[in-house]
Amino acid sequence: MSFYFTEGFERSFGTWPLRGDTLRSSVMTAIETGYRSFDTAQIYENEEELGSVLKEVGLSREKICITTKVAPSNYASNLFLPSVEASLRSLQTEYVDVLLLHWPDQFGKNAEALDGLQSAVERGYAHNIGVSNYTVSMMENALLRLDSIPVTNQVEFHPLLDTTKLMAAAVRFGIPLASYCSLARGQVVVDPILRDMGHRYDRTASQIALRWILQRGVSLNTMSTSREHQAENFNIMDFFLSGPDMAVIDRCMNINLRIVDSSIVSTAPVWD
């Protein structure tokens, strides 16, 4: 089971591509909605702004979960730890709850980055470490390189993408998945199967999709600047999808819609 589940942070608020006043207002309303887990990254260039907002609201550090991700440009051994130290200063915290590698080397040459991740947790800069966008073979290599099992592999995960092999491998390796693009950039909203099921459950298609992800054992990472949509994404814990309905949604994966691929991130890995 994922760190995010065991610590009650199964619904994380993503901050890409928020900046400035938009980030501040969105995080403020997210906190009012109930979010206590926040996801950022060096690449997002908003760590300092997020740190300021979290400091301003005055929540005790133990009550929030902060995830950040090291940029590939900082994977070299002489850059890795200084970049994490800079992230901690920006976030105004002595540690992050989860530190991830943002993107792998697409050819699987990830040893140096994994060593940096190990050093960061040994220094106390991160309480938990993990990876992002790792294929099956890359997850296996990470297990061999790291002293502890990564707490997560954050990947694109939604009902319209076939992640069957990745899910099976994650269970086999004991590396829980965390989702991004959890709503397929709005594509789940117009899916007829999810919409019809939403009517039966008196829920939106988005809530059906997010509930499906949770019941698959995958934690959530969603972003919205709308208070209404934030609440919609957050309030999914008071209903349960039946086994037959889960199976119906499973078949939607055959659409195999990948939002983030090499056309968006040129170094994205080739997925199994």
Q: What residues are labeled active site?
A: 44
**Interatomic CA distance for residues 271 and 52, integer angstroms:** 37
Q: How many helices (H) and strands (E) does the chain have?
A: 11, 8
**Interatomic CA distance for residues 185 and 58, integer angstroms:** 32
Angle in degrees, CA 104, 108, 112, rounded to 5: 70
Residue closest to 11 by CA, chosen among 28, 46, 35? 35
**Interatomic CA distance for residues 84 and 125, integer angstroms:** 7
C-alpha gyration radius of the chain? 18
User: 233: which 2 tokens?
Assistant: 């994404």
Dihedral sign from CA coordinates of 118, 120, 126, 132: negative
Burial of 92 (0-12, 13-18, 19+ CB in 10 A): middle
Query: What are the residues facing 180 on neighbouring strands?
Result: 156
